[in-house]
Homo-oligomer: A and B are copies of this chain.
């Protein structure tokens, strides 16, 4: 008989929380109990799971007493406050916020890329930034084959990255503009419908925004390649869901298009989508709802002897967030990394 687990979703009513619920169902995660938590604003709502209405409870310090796995997607400050308490009460927290990602004690895991890192967890495992996950899944197999030296990335990030309300804002603003009205901005600082702007995460001293530095620092940590040179320009676009990225790669040694395709066609979590005749390549609407990162336009970079260009789209809520978190949970189950005892002992080893 398969073991089953007591799971809690923190931030259950958000865009990622909703997707977590769907994925636990769809992937038949071995559940013995499922609890939904949110802030007081959303507490009292119900959400469907396998035909049953589950009550969303207000999260508190003692919410995780009888929980094995917490899938947290309620923002950095909530995670910072509650994750240590959940761990203290015996749960493992898979945290979708940026709170712990760069913490040296916390593994930052993409199951297709660095599953082994999970075994060193001390109660918290961080789920990487969405844009980072999508890029890493697509390029890590190439990195393994020929060592990437430098990445120049430009992103095309959908509204879903800013949550469910942001997705509504794109639609509402579009409607307003089509009716000749001025668009109302509540979530984003500037109108996003029929417009775009550099990613609105806080700017840092070197002129990169936090989103861009996440791509830089998290990719280095996940690849265990602290010297990897990465630059990125992150941009919000009026797409509802699924991010796109134009990725320029410089390798230590040349990598042919044929070899890159061969490698990617064997890689988990990646699907090559290319119809050169029809000019058909990955698009957000095709990546939406998909588990795989769609990769295409794989071509030699004409500006660099060891360069390769590629284009990708991936569902930001799914593989970029909820799916990756559930895959980490599955990994913990498979490798028996869940009980407090097991992770404490492996932390010592």
Residues of A within 8 A of B (CB): 150-152, 154, 156, 170-171, 174-175, 178, 189-191, 194-198, 200, 202-203, 206-209, 216, 229-231, 233, 235, 237-240, 244, 246, 248, 257, 276, 278-281, 283-285, 296-304, 307, 309, 311
Contact between B239 and A194 (Cβ–Cβ < 8 Å)?
A: yes
Min CB gap A192→B, angstroms = 10
Min CB gap A33→B, angstroms = 37
Contacts of A300 in B (CB 8 A): 206-207
Contact between B283 and A195 (Cβ–Cβ < 8 Å)?
A: yes
A201 and chain B: residue at smallest CB distance? B279
Contact between A207 and B299 (Cβ–Cβ < 8 Å)?
A: yes
CB < 8 Å neighbour of A197 from B171, B276, B283, B309: B283
In the assembled complex, the Cα of A27 lies from the Cα of B112 at a distance in Å of 59
Most buried by B among A190, A194, A257: A194
A179 and chain B: residue at smallest CB distance? B175
Contacts of A152 in B (CB 8 A): 152, 248, 303
Contact between B196 and A283 (Cβ–Cβ < 8 Å)?
A: yes
In the assembled complex, the Cα of A202 lies from the Cα of B276 at a distance in Å of 9
Contacts of A170 in B (CB 8 A): 194
- The 10 tightest CB contacts between A and B, nearest first, are A207-B299, A154-B154, A229-B303, A233-B246, A231-B303, A154-B246, A152-B152, A195-B285, A197-B283, A198-B281
In the assembled complex, the Cα of A341 lies from the Cα of B45 at a distance in Å of 82
Contact between A151 and B207 (Cβ–Cβ < 8 Å)?
A: no
Contacts of A281 in B (CB 8 A): 197-198
Contacts of A151 in B (CB 8 A): 303
A175 and chain B: residue at smallest CB distance? B178
A244 and chain B: residue at smallest CB distance? B196
Contacts of A283 in B (CB 8 A): 190, 195-197
Q: 13 new A-B pairs (CB below 8 Å) besides A150-B303, A151-B303?
A: A156-B156, A190-B280, A190-B283, A194-B285, A195-B285, A196-B244, A197-B281, A202-B279, A206-B299, A216-B302, A235-B244, A237-B238, A238-B238
A170 and chain B: residue at smallest CB distance? B194
In the assembled complex, the Cα of A319 lies from the Cα of B156 at a distance in Å of 24
Contact between B154 and A194 (Cβ–Cβ < 8 Å)?
A: no
CB < 8 Å neighbour of A303 from B156, B230, B235, B302: B230
In the assembled complex, the Cα of A298 lies from the Cα of B233 at a distance in Å of 11
Contact between B156 and A302 (Cβ–Cβ < 8 Å)?
A: no
Contact between A154 and B206 (Cβ–Cβ < 8 Å)?
A: no
Min CB gap A198→B, angstroms = 5
A153 and chain B: residue at smallest CB distance? B154
Contact between B154 and A304 (Cβ–Cβ < 8 Å)?
A: no
Q: Would you give 12 A-B contacts (Cβ < 8 Å), ordered by A?
A: A151-B303, A156-B237, A189-B278, A194-B238, A194-B240, A195-B285, A197-B283, A230-B303, A231-B309, A233-B246, A233-B309, A233-B311
